[in-house]
Amino acid sequence: MEPDSPPAELILTHPRQTLGSIQLDWNAQPGSYLDFEGQTYAVLERRHRYFLRSGRYQLHKIALYVQSAQRPSERSLIDGYWVIGDISCRYNARSELVRCAVNPEGPCNSCRFYERE
């Protein structure tokens, strides 16, 4: 992000509470993970708030909706973004947030439902 961008407000989704603000030097998108005060969080949603000044909209606030999470040990890179789990499995959701429908908690390597695509 730009050096003059506003800090991002971290909001825990359940129970809903504000954790604090953080200055990010990268673009935290849904599916990414960040560390804040010794805890790891998964970004679920990103919202921007703008205000009109001198006929132009300017970024006023960034809100990141997060939940407490562990970084997944199994990740694969597809088309420039990271997905959870083994993408060679037929049931992989190819998502940054969900591993698969049959074994969402993982791990993939010992899953009895694993089917190679």
Shared-domain flag, residues 49 and 15: yes
* Same domain assignment for residues 57 and 101: no
Q: What DSSP line would sit under 84-106, residue for residue?
A: ES-TTBTTB---SS--BSS-TT-
Where do the DSSP E strands lie in 1-117?
8-12, 17-22, 33-36, 39-53, 56-68, 75-78, 81-84
> Percent of the chain at pLDDT above 90?
38
Same domain, 25 and 62: yes
pLDDT of residue 43: 93
Assess whether 76 and 62 both reside in one domain.
no
The mean per-residue pLDDT over the stretch 23-49 comes to: 90
Q: Is residue 59 part of a domain?
A: yes
3-state secondary structure of 113: coil
β-strand 17-22 against 39-53: which pairing, if any?
unpaired
Q: Is residue 2 part of a domain?
A: no
User: What's the pLDDT score for residue 103?
Assistant: 84
Q: For residue 90, what are the domain limits?
A: 72-117
Domain for residue 21, yes or no?
yes
- For the chain, the domain total comes to 2
Give the pLDDT of residue 3: 53
Instruction: Note the pLDDT tens digit of each residue in 71-97.
Output: 877 777 788 777 888 888 888 888 877
Q: What is the pTM of this model?
A: 0.71
If asked whether residues 13 and 51 sit together in one domain, one would say yes
